[in-house]
Amino acid sequence: MVTHYLSAADLSRSEAEALLERAQALKAEWHNGGHPQPLLHGQTLALVFEKPSLRTRVAFEAGMTQLGGTGSYLSANDIDMGGRESVPDVARNLSRWVQVIAARVFKHSTVEILSEHATIPVINALSDREHPCQALADMLTLLEHRGQLQGTRLAYVGDGNNVCHSLLLLGAILGVHVTVACPPDYRPDPDVLAHAERLASTYATEIRITTVPAAAVEGADAVYTDVWASMGQEHEAARRRPIFQPYQVNAELLKLAQPDALVMHCLPAHRGEEITAQVIDGPQSVVFEQAENRLHVQKALVLTLLNC
């Protein structure tokens, strides 16, 4: 098993499947009244966050509590990594006090530097390059609804951002065929795409990129979208809006997918922009199941990294 989880590509297919299986077991335990053993008793997770959060923070903190451990939240004001204190020194200090670090950062290089200097596992809780914990929750949600992942067709419509990157990588590993529809200037990062294509070749998975939303969604088992301007890109929102308007996930676009296609979004959502209220609040939407599954996959991830 990997010692850190910085990218969705850090897992092999067998490791990813085992992690999802454990998440399913943890979820079943929790829904049946809780966990009989405090597997993380005395263990502490440091949450080093440069960005605000709802799902990531609460899911990690609640998960640690449910398993008998503790989450310690550290905002940008508490640490100011790279300012008041260097990233390597943050890693060295935390390694003396806690058992695992979850870092939600702007630059992907920050989690890489943390992992290089930490003597404990480091989890990428979001960076500008990837959102691998979200991808795990998404795959668990697909698995629950489809019964299997291999052969499932996922259409991602919108910005080729960090969420898109992790879906491409983990989808390729787990046999989920991923088609991305995005404007020409907002394609996924070429290096990430090339990596996903290599993984797809290894695992006999299909990866496609198009500029036509209808081409991506036609026949899809799930339709996924995200905000058009991510955190840190708010100043671009007005400029992006007319470019991305044709990529809105609405009832007309959804008709092209399978009749029982799932509607997915990592949240927070801007209803009326990347997705209509009718669709995200409709009967095919599983967005809040995705959000719940952040709790279960993150618990499974921490337990796996700590060999508990």
**Which residues have a catalytic role annotated?**
104, 131, 134, 226, 266, 294
CA separation for the pair 15, 1 (Å, rounded): 7
For 244, which DSSP code? H
Taking the C-alpha atoms of residue 179 and residue 294, their distance in angstroms, rounded to an integer, is 23
Q: Torsions phi, psi of 179, nearest 5?
A: -115, 130
Residue 147: CB atoms within 10 Å: 8
CA distance 278 to 4: 39
Question: Using CA atoms, how far apart are residues 144 and 155, in angstroms rounded to an integer?
Answer: 18
- Name the 3-class secondary structure at 249: strand
Please enumerate in sequence order all residues whose Cβ is within 8 A of that of 71, keeping only pairs 6 or more positions apart, or say none.
Answer: 44, 45, 47, 60, 61, 63, 64, 65
Q: Which residues contact 111 (CB under 8 A, 6 or more apart)?
A: 6, 103, 105, 122, 124, 127
Question: Any idea how long the chain is?
Answer: 308
